[in-house]
Structure 1
Amino acid sequence: MSSTHAVNKTIQEINEKIKKGTAVVLNAEEMIDVVRKKGKVQAAKDVDVVTTGTFSPMCSSGVLFNIGQTMPPTIKTSHVWLNGVPCYGGLAAVDSYLGATEPAEDDPLNKVYPGQFKYGGSHVIEDLVRGKVVHLRATAYGTDCYPRRELSRDITLADLPEALLLNPRNCYQNYNCAVNLTSRLIYTYMGPLKPNAKNANYATAGQISPLFNDPYLKTIGLGTKIFIGGAQGYVLGAGTQHVANPERNERGIPLSGAGTLMLKGDLKKMDERYLRGVSVVGYGTSLCVGVGIPIPILNEEMAWFTGVSDEDIDMPVKDYGYDYPNRLPRILKHAKFSELVSGEIELDGKKVPTVPLTSYTRSLEIANELKKWISEGSFTLTEAQEEIPSN
């Protein structure tokens, strides 16, 4: 019989165990059975860290980069393009920001099918990480200290003095399951939606997703070290559109989209396996980002949270046909994530096939890769320097 004495650990204590090679690290899928079989108190005693993962399209992503100056400095870039994709250049002399959803100006698909894009910022980011040559073009208005007005050359990621993956909004805590109640096919960021609710598209890694395993963000904040794009990175704080006080179910899981994170990492250290450009038919481009966050098991409460399973997660089903473009979408119903994973849900008495936008297999791979880093001692945990509101 397990003891009921309270468990209280510190991140410093867990890090000492990581350095000694004695820390017990499980992925979030493994933790479910431990909590069910042993209870939260014993699970908290036995486990030190739970690793999470997600690999999903995250549109609010991009790269802050510096192209470097020739000597003496000659240009203050005003407009910048990488492989024909516009970047924002109003950041000082040679700093720019490339957004994942920015399309190429001369995209050949857009010329044939207006409004559809095959190539954009996300693909440039992947090309850079793959070591491919990318064409840089820049124009400037010219000043006495920066007289040059044009720049055109081929570059690789290695040629950039700095390239920082800087993502304003990643890792949504829950999200919509999208259907289309109109009689026509529509194209959305959730993918094509067939008429009369012939498919239901959803995006999250469910029970191994980071913010489902720490629903109140008790261990995640400014300075939390993470896995991002195959490299070590950090949480900068709440992401844009962060909802701090959503309606929740009995396990603390938000009943709709809620928390988000702002993340950063060194693009030069990333792996294209965990950073992929995608084209969403009829919508545009997006970036699939791999993120893994370690959850320190400081006490039985954190053990309980990391024991979350797909059966505990309620996802809102919303209409993207009539509602989404015109008004705040109604929640048609909540579906258990376990139902979505099964391949179909019931809506108004009929079976609707479900389609995931998130790769569970790749998400679990990320959780396992992070588990390996921690178990080998190459990745230790960090204390959050500022909390993210989640009350």
Structure 2
Amino acid sequence: MERSVADIREKLEKKEAVVMTAQEISELVDKGEDVRSMDVDVVTTATRAIMSGTYAVLSFPINSPICFKKASKVFLNGVPAHVGPCPNESLGILDVIVFGTAHSILIHNYGAGHLFRELAEGKEIDVDVVTTEDEAIESKIKLEDMPYAKLYATRHTFKNYAAFVNSSDKPVNTIFHATQFSPDMHSATLSGCGEINPVQNDPKMDTIGIGTRVLMNGAEGFVIGEGTRSSPGKPNLTGVADMHKMDAALMGGFKTSAGPECIASWAVAIPVTSQSVLDAILQTDSDIPMVVNDVDKRVMIGSSTYADAWKSTDRAINFNPDACLDCEVCKPIRDCPMEAIQRKDDRILLNRYKCFNCGFCSTVCPGGVFTAELGTLHFEIEGKHQDVPIVLRQSDRKRAEEMAEKLKEKILSGEFKLNEMVERIYP
């Protein structure tokens, strides 16, 4: 089976193409269906996760009574921005770069991921500038008033990532947990959307390449190359998209015990151009290794599969507010990485719009207000079997599946056009 993207695009234009989500394919495989005999033309994939390798380039004017030559420091809602590369001397225009890992100097556990989401929500942002003449300027800005706002990925959509445990005898502060990571391998966290992850479905980059059109946070963007620390065995992508068209619900900040991190989402269409591409698509969670790392030393100590995380587990959190015990300190409110849980009028509330479905609330709530089956890691260390419960997921499989379905609908309606890459990432 060899065919071109142009062949598949022609079938799409004639309304003759078969488009399926990666989840739909995997469900058929699990049922024992012979998917190889089906004429599948396009498979839609997606992932939503913490993606630290993110930055925004913003350019906008500021209202100021001061005529300044250049800015030396800029803060957006307290998040530091790097001035330049264009100085815009005496124009009253700021060109800045904001790293996704930047933390606010004003608001605890507020970072660039929160800032990017609030911009996409249309909220007004505080701009604080220190000029080269050491004058202070305060202004406000909305995304709609920024002529240029692009989000760049430097290291996104890993071909899945890893699970983490803490095998040391001391708690560890880390970006891989919402709170301190408890010692002695009592719990595990993980990242990766398994069988529906884009690069997992095209690991040789046969269809994903430079110039491939994708959806980043819901906005059309493009792959611009391989990501940092990418390799043929462990590929990831760089990309860019316009922030003005992004869906705020697919973005955000995620609180960790080492500070806030940045959430990003990708949806990618995989045209089934060859047997090798189809072979990768037919891999299910049970076939996909999930490396288990020691979070303290960042070394591999075992291997599981993504079935431990995503087979027979809950995608979303079950919410039963009537079970609330009115604890003096509500741990779900205190520990929620998205601040999606709050109390109002003596009633516990869950904001589904903010919720990342990480599941951590279900592991700390004594009353069962929040419940979810998150799975258990099964692996061996030096011949000894280990069963470690998963307490936190840093990938949102539920919304990733929804994104893949939405991309499928866009392709079938003609709203999203498949395009051929300009150049391969790996020869």
- 1:295 maps to what in 2? 270
Partners of 2:406 and 2:16 in 1: CA distance:
18
- 2:243 maps to what in 1? 267
Q: CA deviation at 1:39?
A: 4.7
**Amino acid corresponding to residue 414 of structure 2 in structure 1:** G
State yes or no: 1:133 paired with 2:124.
yes
Q: Which is further off, 154-163 or 182-191?
A: 182-191
Partners of 2:40 and 2:160 in 1: CA distance:
26
Map 1:1-391 → 2, pairs under 5 A: 7-33=1-27, 37-40=33-36, 42-43=37-38, 46-68=39-61, 75-92=69-86, 93=88, 94-107=94-107, 109=108, 118-141=109-132, 150-191=136-177, 192-244=180-232, 246=233, 258-280=234-256, 282-321=257-296, 323-324=297-298, 329=299, 331-341=300-310, 343-347=375-379, 348-354=384-390, 355-389=392-426
**Amino acid corresponding to residue 276 of structure 1 in structure 2:** G
Partners of 2:135 and 2:412 in 1: CA distance:
52
Q: CA deviation at 1:167?
A: 1.5
Partners of 2:62 and 2:389 in 1: CA distance:
54
- 1:255 maps to what in 2? none
Change (3 A) 1:34 1:181: closer
Residue 52 of structure 1 aligns to a residue in which SS? strand
Q: Is the 8 A contact 2:111 2:262 kept in 1?
A: no
Q: String of CA shifts for 1:33-70, please: whole Å, max 9, x gaps.
A: 55652353x33xx1110000111111111211101378
Partners of 2:35 and 2:104 in 1: CA distance:
53
Q: CA deviation at 1:377?
A: 0.5
**Amino acid corresponding to residue 424 of structure 2 in structure 1:** E
Q: Is the 8 A contact 1:62 1:122 kept in 2?
A: no
What runs of 5+ residues in structure 2 fail to find an aligned partner? 89-93, 312-374
Partners of 1:334 and 1:190 in 2: CA distance:
17
Residue 189 of structure 2 aligns to a residue in which SS? strand
Partners of 1:285 and 1:123 in 2: CA distance:
9
Change (3 A) 1:381 1:74: farther
Partners of 2:35 and 2:84 in 1: CA distance:
55
Identity %: 28
Partners of 1:199 and 1:185 in 2: CA distance:
11
Q: Is the 8 A contact 2:155 2:238 kept in 1?
A: yes
Change (3 A) 1:389 1:8: closer
Equivalenced residue count is 348
Partners of 1:149 and 1:377 in 2: CA distance:
52
Partners of 1:126 and 1:39 in 2: CA distance:
39
Runs of 4+, deviation exceeding 4 Å: 33-36
Residue 53 of structure 2 aligns to a residue in which SS? coil
What runs of 5+ residues in structure 1 fail to find an aligned partner? 1-6, 110-117, 143-147, 247-257
Q: Give the alignment's Cα RMSD to 1 decimal.
A: 2.1
**Amino acid corresponding to residue 204 of structure 1 in structure 2:** G
Q: Is the 8 A contact 2:162 2:192 kept in 1?
A: no
Partners of 2:189 and 2:8 in 1: CA distance:
39
- 1:112 maps to what in 2? none
**Amino acid corresponding to residue 66 of structure 1 in structure 2:** S
Partners of 1:341 and 1:77 in 2: CA distance:
48
Q: Is the 8 A contact 2:172 2:183 kept in 1?
A: yes
Larger RCO, structure (CA 8 Å, separation 6 or more): 1
Q: CA deviation at 1:341?
A: 3.2
Q: Is the 8 A contact 2:62 2:139 kept in 1?
A: no
